[in-house]
């Protein structure tokens, strides 16, 4: 009995030291706010689905009738193609700029420069979307900038690209920068520690060749992951296309918003479900490819280290 009673306080003392003296219920208490927020989100989605399917039981057109009446008509698919191209362009541009900025910050390696750059990249999350949008409008309305976008729109007009669409891509890429820049900066620091880029330069490779043949392949898994996340968020963007596009860049989220204003729950549900399906079809292969490339790159990192 004495040995057992002595062992129990010892085990409790060891467990207390491992937990840092914190009560065991504290982590569970900290999980309450996120769980409540998640529950509210699930409840909102459930109510939306209920409204969409309950309309058919009350004699109003339901989900099936919305499909038959043209919820997914040619106009919707044109908006879907425009939304996908807009999101893809913004994602590629954001990842490319983030990769270049991260490479420069790693080379410069100055805390003050890195902190100032990160503050600028983080600013889209701090400043209101409306303020950013109308601030960008002031820049885009300047004659040299406006003429540049008009010239680019004329050159790409055969692809159905307009100056308003190009401007929306640029501003949406700026909004995605906090999502793409920070993970890529972390990855670039890991690549810099491996000294592979320095070894390539010592062997006579040029800076451009080192970037495209060494840096980009090693950073590709991270770029694909953050790119998939940015693409998914861009597909549901509403405010920036509405402000920058000025009604000339109509996306799927705007169509869904119009259906909700008209209290057409089934049509909004069908269009939103298709938007989520298209997003999943694009994003899922990106994550799968990133996982595969990450597995291929892991043994190389271990051998280099």
In the predicted model, is pLDDT for residue 18 greater than 70? Answer: no
* Cα gap 252→161, rounded to integer Å: 17
How much is the average pLDDT of 53-63?
A: 66
- CA distances from residue 129 to 43, 140, 206, 261 in whole angstroms, order as listed: 26, 16, 41, 22
- 1: confidence class by pLDDT, cuts 50, 70, 90: very low
Cβ-contact 90, 169 below 8 angstroms: yes
Q: How far from the centroid of its chain's Cα atoms is residue 145's Cα?
A: 27
User: Which string of DSSP letters, residue by residue, matches 55-112?
Assistant: HHHTTS--HHHHHHTTTT-HHHHHHHHHHHHHHHHHHHHHHHHHHHHHHHHHHH--HH
Q: Which two tokens stand for residue 55?
A: 């309309």
Judged by average pLDDT, the poorest of 68-77, 80-89, 278-287 is 68-77
Mean pLDDT of the chain: 81
pLDDT of residue 42: 86
Q: Output the six-digit token pair for 53.
A: 């399917």
Is 181:121 a contact under the CB 8 Å cutoff?
yes
Checking if the pLDDT of 70 tops 80, the result is no
Q: State percent of the chain over pLDDT 70.
A: 87
Query: Encoding tokens for residue 88?
Result: 């893809």
- Tens digits of residue pLDDT in 127-182: 888 888 888 888 988 888 888 888 888 888 777 788 888 999 999 999 998 899 98
Rounded to whole angstroms, the Cα distance separating 290 from 221 reads: 4
pLDDT of residue 80: 93
CA distances from 210 to 186, 198, 205, 214, 282 (A): 19, 9, 6, 5, 29
Give the residue with greater pLDDT, 53 vs 166: 166
pTM over 0.75: yes
Query: Backbone phi, then psi, for 70, in 5-degree steps?
Result: 100, 35
What pLDDT, on a 0 to 100 scale, did the predictor assign at position 111? 86
pLDDT tens sequence across 174-226: 999 889 998 998 888 888 887 777 777 777 777 777 778 778 888 889 999 99
Residue 228 has pLDDT above 90, yes or no: yes
DSSP 212: I
Mean pLDDT of 87-99: 93
DSSP 3-state of 213:
helix
Question: What angle separates helix 265-304 from helix 32-57, to the nearest 10 degrees?
Answer: 140
């Amino acid at each position: 009995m004495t040995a057992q009673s002595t062992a129990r306080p010892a085990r409790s003392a060891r467990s207390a030291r491992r937990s840092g003296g914190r009560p065991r219920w504290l982590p569970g208490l900290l999980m309450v706010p996120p769980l409540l927020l998640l529950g509210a989100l699930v409840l909102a989605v459930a109510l939306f689905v209920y409204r969409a399917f309950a309309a058919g039981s009350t004699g109003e057109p339901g989900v099936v009738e919305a499909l038959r009446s043209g919820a997914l008509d040619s106009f919707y698919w044109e908006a879907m193609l425009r939304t996908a191209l807009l999101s893809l362009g913004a994602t590629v541009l954001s990842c490319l700029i983030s990769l270049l900025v991260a490479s420069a910050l790693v080379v410069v390696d100055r805390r003050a420069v890195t902190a100032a750059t990160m503050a600028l990249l983080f600013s889209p999350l701090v400043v209101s979307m409306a303020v950013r949008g109308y601030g960008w409008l002031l820049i885009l309305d300047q004659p040299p900038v406006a003429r540049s976008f008009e010239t680019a729109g004329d050159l790409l007009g055969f692809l159905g690209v307009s100056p308003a669409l190009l401007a929306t891509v640029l501003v949406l890429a700026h909004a995605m920068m906090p999502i793409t820049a920070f993970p890529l900066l972390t990855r670039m620091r890991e690549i810099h520690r491996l000294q592979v880029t320095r070894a390539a330069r010592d062997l006579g490779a040029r800076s451009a060749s080192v970037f495209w043949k060494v840096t980009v392949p090693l950073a590709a898994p991270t770029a694909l992951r953050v790119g998939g996340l940015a693409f998914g968020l861009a597909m549901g963007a509403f405010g920036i296309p509405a402000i920058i596009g000025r009604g000339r860049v109509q996306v799927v989220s705007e169509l869904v918003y119009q259906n909700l204003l008209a209290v057409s729950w089934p049509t909004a549900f069908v269009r939103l479900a298709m938007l989520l399906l298209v997003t999943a079809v694009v994003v899922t292969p990106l994550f799968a490819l990133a996982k595969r490339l990450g597995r291929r790159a892991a043994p190389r990192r271990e051998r280099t280290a």
